[in-house]
Structure formats: C-alpha cells, structure tokens
Amino acid sequence: MRRPSDRAAWAGIGTLVLLLVALPLAGLGWVPGTALPIYAINLIGQVMCLSLLAIAVDLIWGGAGVLSLGHGLFFAFGGYLCAMHLLRTAYAATHELPDFLQFMGHGGFPSWWRLADGAVTTTLAVLLLPALLAFVFGYVSFRSRVNGVYFSIITQALTYTAMLMMFRNDTGFGGNNGMTGFHAIAGLPAGGLPATVLLASLATAAVLLALVLGRAILASRFGRLLAAIRDDEPRLRFLGYDTLWIKLAAWCLSASIAAIAGALYVPQVGIINPSLLDPSLSLEVAIWVTVGGRGGLLGAVLGAALVNLLKFWLTAAAPALWPFVLSLLGLLVVLALPNGLLDLRNRSRDWIVDLARAPLPLLRRRTVR
C-alpha cells in the first residue's frame, strides 16, 4: 500500500486552502462577478463533511488496518447532538416545542437534552461522548482480540441496532421523521446565504485541519506503530508493545472526527433521521476510501469528493442506476487500482511497461526458429 507523494499531499492541502479563501469571497459576492449560487455552496459543504468522515475511516483502516463498517454511528451521534442544540436554540426564540415532542405529550425537553444546552457543552459532547462510546466498544473488542472481518461485522451490527432504536418515537429523538425545524445557526438565519457560507467554510477548515494533523500523526512514532499493527500485529505484541492502547487511541480519535463531520453535516441538510445510521452509508464510506486510496488520508478526501459528486449528479439524472454504478466502481478500483486513484500514475507506468514487454517473447520465438 503506497501513500501519496509529498507533492500530491501539498497539492491537496493547497487546493483546500484556496477553497477556504474562495468560499466567503465568492459565496458572499465580495468579489464582483464571482458569486456562487447557494446550492453550489451547500453542495461543497456537504462534500467536505463527507470527506471528513472518510478521513476518520482512513485513519483507523489505512493507519492500523482496522476496517470499520459502523462509522455511521459516530457520524449520526454528532449529528443528533448538533440537532438537539439547534432545536433548543429555536425554542428559545419561538417558545414552541418541536412537533415530535408535542406529539408524544412532552411538556418540555427530555432531561438528557441538557447535554446540548449551550454551544460549549454541545461542542464538548460532540468531541467526548462518541469517543467514550468508541472506547467502551473498542476496549471490549480489542481486548478480546476481535480483528478482521469479525470486527467489521460487529461494528455494522452495532450501527444497525442503533438505527432500530432511533426509529422508536419514545426515545425522544424524533423517531422515523427525525428532527428538523432549525431556526438559526450561530445567530444567522438557517438556510440563508451567510449561514450556508459559514458552515461550508467550517467544514472545509475541518477537513484541512484533519488532513494536516492526521498526516503528522501517521508520520510520527505513533503512526509507525499503527503501521506495524496493520502489517504484523502479533510480531509487534511479541516485541513487548501493548497494541490494545495504541489501537484504542486511534479508534477513539477516529470516532471524534466522524462525530465532528456529522455535527457539521446536519445543519447543512436541515434534518437528521435514522437513515444516517443505515449500514449502507458506512459501506459507502469504505468504498470512498478504496476509490481514493487508503493510508495517506488525501486519498480519502479525493475518493469521497469524486464519488459523492457523481452520486449527487446521477441520483438526480437516473436514481435507479446509482447502486449499480457504485458497485461497479468499487469492483473496477479493486481489480485495476488496488491502491486507489492516487496510485494511478504508478499503475499507468506499470501498464505501459507491461505492454512494451508483451511482444518481446513472441519476437524471441521467431528469432530462435
């Protein structure tokens, strides 16, 4: 598994920096003739959030070789916490409870909604609570040395269980209809141009920060230990390292990044429901990372951006074809580009060399005759 070159990494970081600068300039029309429509800004913001989710998966999968098929759980966790805070903000402005709470006969917000009372407490909850859940689940799994496909299946089962729970109306999270009706975001009217630009800029900044810090982590001694776990964990354990805590640290960090992605994603789509917990989303994330190339984080961003832009276009033009196109894309990448699109340059060079060498045995046979 090859990591992207430094040149490609710097090109990706530079692109994100330019996008971060261009979003407020073009989105708010500060530069004449460069105004972007609000739907384009919203699309960029959503793609950035999904790219951040892909970075979270690549950090644990590409870094430590632990494939998670349940990161939709942490993604939705952050999204629900953010939605709870936005609904409490809306209640402070309108003094009207959300429809689903009125339908269930609640006279106020459930007690556990205090976790999302203020912006600071909500931020801390988004960072810490998913990591705490990941710690409990990861400790039990890694201590029992559950690895490989078994760990992937367990993560998927956990996400599916959470989805079934969230479908219940009596949980106080909106049930099947979910939570919507956000009034304001950071004091700006929800759905307006300034709020859309702000959220897209925050999502882009989060991807840039995660990419820079994540690559620094993978290049450090801790990252080398993760690579050793990925390549030969029993040998590393034989050398005296306690791999449990190394994997747990990466796993919890990955969960927090996924939760941040969900918290930034929900205000941009304006709703959250149990569909975010559908195991198919977690499967798609693995395909994004595979398409881009795992192990260097930049491939996760590239794969998530390309696949989701294709999805947004194709689901509008021919929605019935998207599942087949996604499956075909995954198969083609696995067969032709095992290391993803970032390895396309190296693979194309190998293909050219193979094609150039192919006629040589035939010429030699003719010469011998």
What does the block give as tokens for 22?
């261009």
Quote the longest CA-to-CA distance of the chain: 94
Q: What is 303-321 written as a DSSP string?
A: HHHHHHHHHHHHHHH-GGG
Which residue type does 186 have?
Answer: A
**pLDDT at residue number 176:** 87
Domain boundaries, the chain: 6-368
Residue type, 90: A
Return the pLDDT at 109.
86
Q: How far apart (Å, rounded) are the C-alpha atoms in residues 261 and 278?
A: 16
194 contacts 188 by C-beta, under 8 angstroms? yes
Task: Render each residue's pLDDT in the chain as its tens digit; 369 residues.
Answer: 545 566 778 888 898 999 898 888 887 776 666 678 899 999 999 999 999 999 999 999 999 999 999 999 999 999 999 999 999 999 888 888 888 888 877 778 888 888 888 899 999 999 999 999 999 999 999 999 998 899 999 999 999 999 999 998 888 888 888 899 898 898 899 889 999 999 999 999 999 999 999 999 999 999 999 999 999 999 999 988 999 999 999 999 999 999 999 999 999 999 999 999 999 999 999 999 999 988 889 999 999 999 999 999 988 888 888 888 888 888 888 888 888 888 776 665 555 555 556 555 544 554 444
Mention every residue, 6+ apart, whose C-beta is less than 8 A from residue 114. 121
Report the C-alpha dihedral over residues 303, 305, 310, 312, rounded to 10 degrees: 140
Q: What is the DSSP string of 251-263?
A: HHHHHHHHHHHHH
- CA–CA separation, 141 vs 158, rounded Å? 12
How many other CB atoms are there within 10 angstroms of residue 242's CB atom? Answer: 10
| Dist CA 90 CA 182 (whole Å) | 6
